[in-house]
């Protein structure tokens, strides 16, 4: 017997105002969350991306999915109500992209290491001390839950250039 693949979700692009809203906590035992997480993971792998936050698919809930090694055996993480509980003073800079700003990239500086707590789909409390790409990705996704985008971490000059380039490219794509 085969099971149907989860339906993909449309990803919102900047300047959709839902990307600037603060997402609401997920209530314990919310019955919508397992199916939404499954669809978000399918959407993230298809994009492809290494993370996706619920507001990027129009759901203003504190839910994130992550897999920082999408080309290897899938190791999906589903984070309900994730929180950064500690961050290093040491900083790290790496190039970031965002599925809500397709084809736009910039060097972003953030804490090099973070401790993140969340609840999994069974309601169990989880914690990770992350560095490298996982640390950057978790911070990027938790920013989405607060209406913050990676371009908010770069200079106004670079941000405006990148946002103008994005608007032009999305307009050209809409004409195709
Ligand atoms: O939240 C998002 O928009 C997803 C975003 C996450 C992210 C990327 C880089 C640094 C921090 C957070 C992406 O996944 S952009 C695509 C991407 O980085 C990628 C895609 C395929 C393979 C490897 C990376
Ligand atoms: Zn993003």
* 52: Cα separation from own chain's centroid: 3
Q: How many CB atoms lie within 10 A of CB 52?
A: 28
pLDDT tens column, 74-127: 899 999 999 999 999 999 999 999 999 999 999 999 999 999 999 999 999 999
Is residue 2 one of the residues assigned to a domain?
Answer: no
Domain that holds residue 97: 17-175
Residues labelled as active-site residues: 141
User: What DSSP element (H or E) covers 174?
Assistant: helix 156-175
Please tell me what DSSP assigns to residue 93.
Answer: E
Is residue 84 one of the residues assigned to a domain?
Answer: yes
Distance 141 CA to ligand 2 centre (A): 6
Is residue 162 one of the residues assigned to a domain?
Answer: yes
Rounded-to-integer distance, Cα 140 and Cα 98, Å: 9
Domain count along the chain? 1
Is residue 37 one of the residues assigned to a domain?
Answer: yes
Q: Which residues surround ligand 2, an ion (CB under 5 A)?
A: 98
Instruction: Please return the burial class of 61, using the count of CB atoms within 10 Å of its CB with bins 0-12, 13-18 and 19+.
Output: buried
Rounded-to-integer distance, Cα 2 and Cα 41, Å: 19
Residue 99 CA: which ligand is closest?
A: 1
Rounded to an integer, the average pLDDT of 37-50 is: 97
97 lines ligand 1 (CB under 6 A): yes
Is residue 101 one of the residues assigned to a domain?
Answer: yes
Is residue 5 one of the residues assigned to a domain?
Answer: no
Q: Under 8 Å CB-to-CB from 157, ≥6 apart: which residues? A: none
Question: 92 forms bridges with which residues in the sheet?
Answer: 110
For position 70, what pLDDT does the model report?
74
Measured from the Cα of 99, ligand 1's closest atom is 3
Q: How confident is the model at residue 71 (pLDDT cuts 50, 70, 90)?
A: confident
Residue 64 CA: which ligand is closest?
A: 1
Is residue 134 one of the residues assigned to a domain?
Answer: yes
Asked if residue 3 has pLDDT above 80, the reply is: no
The full DSSP string for 55-66 is GGGT--BSEEEE
pTM value is 0.97
Distance 41 CA to ligand 1 centre (A): 13
Measured from the Cα of 98, ligand 1's closest atom is 3
Q: Where residue 43 sits, what CATH number does that domain have?
A: 3.90.45.10
The angle subtended at Cα 86 by Cα 82 and Cα 91, nearest 5°, is 110
Q: How many CB atoms lie within 10 A of CB 33?
A: 20
Is residue 117 one of the residues assigned to a domain?
Answer: yes
Distance 19 CA to ligand 2 centre (A): 9
């Amino acid at each position: 017997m085969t099971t149907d693949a989860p339906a993909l979700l449309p990803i919102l692009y900047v300047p959709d105002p839902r990307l600037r809203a603060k997402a609401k906590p997920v209530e314990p035992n919310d019955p919508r969350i397992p199916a939404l997480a499954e669809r978000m993971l399918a959407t993230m792998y298809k994009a492809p991306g290494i993370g996706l936050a619920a507001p990027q698919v129009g759901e203003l809930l504190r839910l994130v999915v992550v897999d920082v090694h999408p080309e290897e055996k899938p190791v999906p993480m589903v984070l309900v109500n994730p929180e950064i509980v500690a961050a290093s003073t040491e900083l790290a800079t790496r190039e970031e992209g965002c599925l809500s700003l397709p084809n736009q990239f910039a060097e972003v500086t953030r804490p090099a290491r973070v401790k993140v707590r969340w609840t999994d789909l069974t309601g169990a409390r989880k914690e990770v001390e992350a560095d490298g790409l996982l640390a950057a990705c978790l911070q990027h996704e938790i920013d989405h839950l607060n209406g913050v985008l990676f371009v908010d971490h770069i200079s106004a000059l670079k941000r405006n250039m990148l946002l103008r380039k994005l608007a032009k490219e999305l307009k050209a794509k809409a004409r195709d």
